[in-house]
Every structure is written in structure tokens, then in C-alpha cells.
Chain A
Amino acid sequence: MARLSYYTTACALAILFLFPLLWSGWASLESPSGFGLENYERLFTSDNGIRFYHVVNSVLVCLITVGGTLLVSTLGGYAFGRFRFPGRDLLFLVTLAILMVPYATILIALYVLLGWLGLQDSLLGLGLVLIMFQLPFSIFMMRNSFEAVPRELEESALIDGCNSFGVLTRVMLHAVRPGLITVGLFAFLTSWNEFFAPLILLNSTDQFTLTLAVVNMRTASHGAIDYAALEAGVMFMAVPCVLLFLFLQRSYVRGFMSGALKG
């Protein structure tokens, strides 16, 4: 009896949580002329719809953010996890402090600063800002990953004549791979989905990322909103993330838990 009521409650809740996604998928495929990709066609062709270059922009921002985050946090995690140097603890604390300062409050200054650096309205500028916002989590994660690698592994490579960079590329990178996957996945999900930072930092529609372009279908439409095409946009944005999440669920959850437990 207790089992039955448990499964009834849990199933009802699961349906409640899955319903919006399933509905959106269904609504994006349904049109007056039947089931098909008509709404997706309108998504890409209507006047204030999205264009192929918006997809390219989003992919570029993701590449910059994921690549940059992996590079900076691997080197930084190696430094924090394996070396002692002056200012080490201070730098680590300041990096974590980024989490304490919610970024909506410094984006106005970043907008001005990127203008001074000649990076106004640029995908590179946006990518750099997103790397900075990823750093606290990523550095934390990578430092823990490097600290967990047994010293012997490193020492045997040093005896074989590797310098510290050789140790990093030949031995350590392989050992910290689960951490790299988690960091990369988080960086991808954030940069693909981010809305507020691009809204502030990008001005011209041909620089818009996918998220901005899809939201623009709502905010820039003066007449009726094309809701069906909007749901097609939602699905176009969400499906890659959902698939990637289901595929990498284990490392996502594991990385997340190690962060939450120690943090």
C-alpha cells in the first residue's frame, strides 16, 4: 500500500515535470496542415525569425568559452593543485569571490571596459566574459582533480626526463579527464543558453546569439507573436542540451556533487 502511494505520487510528479517539455515538442511540430516541420521552416524564414548566422554565432561563442575555460582552468588547476607560489591563496580566494558578486551588477562596467578594449559588440568579448564567469567553478573543480592524482604518477614521468609541461600533457591530462568533461559540459550549457550577458554586450542583430535571436522573436514583434515558431525555437535550443545532458548525466551529477559537497 505504501509502495503504491509512493509510485503514484512520484509518477504524477514526474509527469508534471516532463509535461512542459513534451508539450513544447508536440506544439513545435503541430500546425494547421498537420504534423511536420512547418513551424521550424517559419522559424528560419519569417521576417524576425532566426538566421543561420545566429547559429554560427552561438557555436563560435561556445567554442571560445569552452576552449578558453578548459585552457585557463587546466593550467590554473595544475598551478593551484601542484605548486606553491607567492599570492597563490589570495588568487584562489579572489577567483572564488566571482561567485559572490552576481554578474548582473558588474556587466554595466564590463560593457564600458570591452568598449575601451575595442571588443564592443563582439563575440570574442562575450566569450571572454563568459570564461570569467565559469572560472570559480572550473578552477575549483580542476584544482580538486589535480590534487587527487597520485604523486607517484607524476614522479615516474619526471624521472623519465619530462619537464612540468611534459608531465601535464603526457600524464596529468589523461588522469583529470573526468574533471575536464564536467568543466567543458558546464561551460557549454552556460554559453549556449546565456541570455543576460549577450543582451548587454551585443547590440547589432547580426551579432546576436541564438538565444537572443529567439527571444527577439517575442520582444521585437509588434503584432501577434508566432507562438508555434517560438516553440520550434525553444526546441531547437533545448534538444541539444537535453541530449548532451542525458548522454553525460553521470559526469554532470558527479562533478556537481563534488562541487556542492566541498564548496
Chain B
Amino acid sequence: MQRRSWVGAAYAAPTALVVGVLFIVPLVLVGWMSLNDWPLLGAPEINFPENYTGLTDNELIADAAWFTAKYTIVITALLFSVAFGLALLVQHQRRGVGFFRTAFFLPVAVGFASASLLFLGLLSSEIGPFHTDTYISWTSGSPNLALGSAVTLVLWRFAGFNMLIMLTGLQAIPLEIYEAARIDGASRFQLFRRITVPLMRPTIALVLTLMIAGSLLAFDQFWILTRGGPDNRTTSLVMVIYREAFIRLDLGSAAAISVVLLGVLVVFNVIQFGVLRRRSQ
């Protein structure tokens, strides 16, 4: 039996190696880097707490944090409603439902960067179908237009993915519960409010966590579609990390933003799990 335990450990060794070298070490390293003046080229030097105090002076960070929060709220509300609606629409077996599921899910097979480029062309006045008599730039005309374009893109690309998760949740609800409630004379709205939503709570929590974490880390859609403009008004936090590291060549400061963002996400996840656990008891 002792031997079998070593054999098992040997099979797990590649996993341990990859996780150790490429996950644990960088995780510690990003913390260490945030305590140092760490130029892209050249030797690092400890400068704690300058990278962190520098964060508060950096106006772009405050704007990006505010914008990212706003984007997160908007996209989470919209994406959740659309995805839930689609899942309800295709939850029952009937003629053609397979086609509808595939149609809603197909954008997920397209990479997000490709999807952003697709929308860049779709919304362009050069070849896109949406040009009007007076010229409007959908992607850089005004901050709100640019945000709206990015939101449309994200809805198109991710609604099907979230629909599929919610569909698994919907299909796990036993049909007998609905039958029993219907016999008791419950209306369709009551069925939805009193049965579907409460029993979907774990799935809803999962979907919301994924959406919020995903939008706090938004990058591709703004980097490619709006270029963070106009006037840095659609610049997300991860874009600021990238800019600190590879345009301002200050890896220490980029690491400090990463650590703060990481902290926010961990706290957020802990709260989320706490709420989820209390509710499910």
C-alpha cells in the first residue's frame, strides 16, 4: 500500500510541477515585485511603499477604477437578464429548440479578440451596415456610445455561454415541483418567483460571480474596439496595468495594481461564498 501511495504521487508530480512553478511562484513574485522599484530592464530595488502610495496619485487609475465599476454594474445587469431570458426561452424540448440553442451559443466558439475585431468592422462607417446620413462613430464618438458598443459586443459574445450554465440549473429542477404547484393553482409568474428563482439560487450565484470577476478584468473589448477612448474614458483597470508595465515600463507599479485588484477579488469571492452558504442552509 505504501508503494501505491508513491505511485499516485508520481502521477500527480507533473501537476504539482506546473502549479508550483507557474502559479505559486508568480503569485508570490507579484507580491514581491509590488514592494520594489522594478523597471522593465535593469535591476530591481526595494522601495516599499512607493508603488502603493503612487496608486493614489495616479489620476488614470481612479478614472479607470470608476469606469470599470460602472461597466461591471451595467454589463452584469444586462448580461444576466439576457442570458436568463434565453435560457427560459429554450429550456423545454420542442421542435427547433436545438437550432435556437446552437444559434445563441455559436458566438462563444468565436474568440473574444476576433469577436471584438468583427464588431470593429460591423460598427465602422467604412464597411458596416449601420451608417447614417450624419456621420457617427459608434466606437469612439462619445464615451457613452463607445461603452454601448462594447456592451453590445459582450452581450453577443457571452449571452450564450451564460445561457448554457443557467440551462443546466433550470433542467436540474424536478418537473414534479412545477406540477404540484400548478395543481395548487399557481400562476406562471408565481411559479417563476416561488420555484424557479429560489431553486436556481446556486446557479445564479455562480453566473453572477463569473460575470463580475470577468468584467472587473475587462481588457480585450476596450483594447481592441474603443482603444480606451475617447479621452481615456473607456480605459479599464487591466488596461492601466498593461500601460504601467509595457508603456511606462514600471513593473513594480503594475504589480501593485495587480495585488490590489487580486485583494478585491478575493474579498469579493469570500463574501459571495459566505452569502451563498448562509442562503443554502
Contact surface of A with B, Cβ cutoff 8 Å: 6-7, 9-10, 13-14, 17-18, 20-21, 23-24, 27, 71-73, 75-76, 78-80, 82-88, 91, 94-95, 98, 100-102, 104-106, 108-113, 128-129, 131-132, 135, 139, 164, 189, 192-196, 199-200, 211, 214-215, 218-219, 224-225, 227-228, 230-231, 233-234, 237-238, 241-242, 244-246, 249, 253, 256-257, 260-261, 263
Pair A113/B29 contact, Cβ less than 8 Å: yes
Which residues of B have CB within 8 Å of A23? 122, 129
Write 8 A-B pairs (CB below 8 A) sorted by A numbering.
A72-B15, A83-B5, A100-B269, A193-B111, A200-B242, A227-B128, A238-B111, A241-B109
Least Cβ–Cβ distance between B121 and chain A, in angstroms: 5
Which residues of A have CB within 8 Å of B178? none
The chain A residue with its CB closest to the CB of B98 is A249
In the bound assembly, the distance between CA atoms of A245 and B101 in angstroms comes to 13
Least Cβ–Cβ distance between A235 and chain B, in angstroms: 9
Pair A242/B110 contact, Cβ less than 8 Å: yes
How many residue pairs bridge A and B at CB < 8 Å? 261
Pair B30/A108 contact, Cβ less than 8 Å: yes
Which residues of B have CB within 8 Å of A98? 19, 23
Which residues of B have CB within 8 Å of A249? 102
In the bound assembly, the distance between CA atoms of A70 and B129 in angstroms comes to 43
B104 at the interface (CB under 8 A from A): yes
Q: Taking A112-B33, A227-B124, A241-B110 as contacts, is the C-beta distance between A102 and B18 under 8 angstroms?
A: no
Which residues of B have CB within 8 Å of A132? 18-19, 22-23
Return the contact of A17 from the options B16, B107, B121, B220 (Cβ within 8 A): B107
Q: Taking A17-B104, A23-B129, A108-B254 as contacts, is the C-beta distance between A218 and B111 under 8 angstroms?
A: no
Pair B164/A256 contact, Cβ less than 8 Å: yes
Least Cβ–Cβ distance between A215 and chain B, in angstroms: 6
Least Cβ–Cβ distance between B214 and chain A, in angstroms: 8
Return the contact of B25 from the options A113, A131, A228 (Cβ within 8 A): A113
In the bound assembly, the distance between CA atoms of A249 and B265 in angstroms comes to 32
Q: Which of B87-133 contact A (CB under 8 A)?
A: 89-90, 96, 99-100, 102-104, 106-114, 117-122, 124, 126-129
B24 at the interface (CB under 8 A from A): yes
Which residues of A have CB within 8 Å of B104? 13-14, 17
Which residues of A have CB within 8 Å of B18? 72, 128, 131-132, 135
Pair A20/B118 contact, Cβ less than 8 Å: yes
Contact surface of B with A, Cβ cutoff 8 Å: 4-16, 18-19, 21-27, 29-30, 33, 38, 86, 89-90, 96, 99-100, 102-104, 106-114, 117-122, 124, 126-129, 156, 159-160, 164-165, 168, 172, 203, 206, 213, 216-217, 219-220, 224, 227, 238, 241-242, 245-246, 251, 254-255, 258-259, 261-262, 265-266, 269
Q: DSSP class of B's interface residues: helix, strand, loop or mixed?
A: helix
Return the contact of B165 from the options A17, A73, A242, A260 (Cβ within 8 A): A260
In the bound assembly, the distance between CA atoms of A101 and B19 in angstroms comes to 13
In the bound assembly, the distance between CA atoms of A238 and B115 in angstroms comes to 9
In the bound assembly, the distance between CA atoms of A6 and B103 in angstroms comes to 16
Pair B122/A20 contact, Cβ less than 8 Å: yes
The chain B residue with its CB closest to the CB of A199 is B242
In the bound assembly, the distance between CA atoms of A179 and B108 in angstroms comes to 20
Pair B6/A85 contact, Cβ less than 8 Å: yes
Which residues of A have CB within 8 Å of B16? 91
Pair A228/B12 contact, Cβ less than 8 Å: no
Return the contact of A109 from the options B5, B29, B90, B265 (Cβ within 8 A): B29
Q: Taking A109-B255, A227-B124 as contacts, is the C-beta distance between A135 and B15 under 8 angstroms?
A: yes
In the bound assembly, the distance between CA atoms of A50 and B126 in angstroms comes to 21
Return the contact of B224 from the options A139, A218, A241, A257 (Cβ within 8 A): A218
